Amino acid sequence: MKASDVYVQSATPTVYIRYKGVWDMEDLYLTMVDYLRGRKFKFHEKIYKHKHPSPFGVERQYIWQAERKEEEYIEFVIDIYFHTYDAHDVEVVMKDGTSKTFTKGRIWMEFKGHVTYDHEKRWERSAFYAQLRNFYNKYIIKKRMDQIWWDRLWYREIYPLHDLVRRQLKMESEGYEHRYWTGVHR
């Protein structure tokens, strides 16, 4: 990785979830989409693959992308990869006696994102403009890139989404202490 690459876009690390058990697929799907829409992201389901069922169940693959123009110059992008294996429907009796259809199988999820600078590509028209942009990113807004926008995307957008999925799946490690890292006002 070159030092200059850092100043075009700042990528976040990837967080993974692997789960094997029973979950409410419809609820999970709607909750995630609802979260992204609620946070004013433009949501795109780029790929939806329904593979030929095996004796163990169905395999489905989703690739989602959500983007939001944070400011005139920067944009937040969240990429989600979602894969279910051996999924099959099971009838579950709820506490109140009603029955509901859940999904049993395995899930693999990946969450990552990046902050794109100059997302409208206004400063790429000539080499001079590109140099100006480079100077601006490297010396003028560098602190904000490191300490504000990246943190906002990571701790305010991606991590809560990750935690939301953990809560929906009722995982043991749900909840996290870094929720107020970027301030209490969201």
Partner 1 sequence: MADIRIVVDHLKLEYTGLVDLNGFFRMIDAWLYERGMEKRTDKEFEQQAPKGKFMEWQTSTWKKVTDYNRIVFKIRALIYDINKIETVRDKKKVQLSHCRMILYFDGYLEHDYEHRWDERPFLVFLRTIYDKFIYKAYTERFEHRIVHDLHQLYDHIETFLNTYKHYRPVSSVSHFSY
Residues that bind partner 1 (CB under 8 A): 1-3, 6, 12-13, 15-21, 106, 151, 154, 162, 166, 169, 171-178, 181
d(Cα 145, Cα 136) in Å, to the nearest integer? 11
Smallest gap, in angstroms, from Cβ of residue 20 to partner 1?
Answer: 4
Answer whether 87's CB lies under 8 Å from 104's CB: yes
d(Cα 86, Cα 134) in Å, to the nearest integer? 48
Among residues 69 and 162, whose Cβ is nearest to partner 1? 162
Q: For residue 65, which phi and psi values (nearest 5 degrees)?
A: -140, 140
Among residues 69 and 85, whose Cβ is nearest to partner 1? 85
d(Cα 186, Cα 174) in Å, to the nearest integer? 20
Smallest gap, in angstroms, from Cβ of residue 33 to partner 1?
Answer: 21
Output DSSP code: residue 145.
I
- Residue 45, CA distances (Å) to 29, 97, 167 in order: 11, 35, 22
Smallest gap, in angstroms, from Cβ of residue 3 to partner 1?
Answer: 5
Among residues 71 and 174, whose Cβ is nearest to partner 1? 174
Side chain identity at residue 135, one-letter code: F
Among residues 8 and 37, whose Cβ is nearest to partner 1? 8
Among residues 3 and 94, whose Cβ is nearest to partner 1? 3
Smallest gap, in angstroms, from Cβ of residue 57 to partner 1?
Answer: 15
Smallest gap, in angstroms, from Cβ of residue 175 to partner 1?
Answer: 6
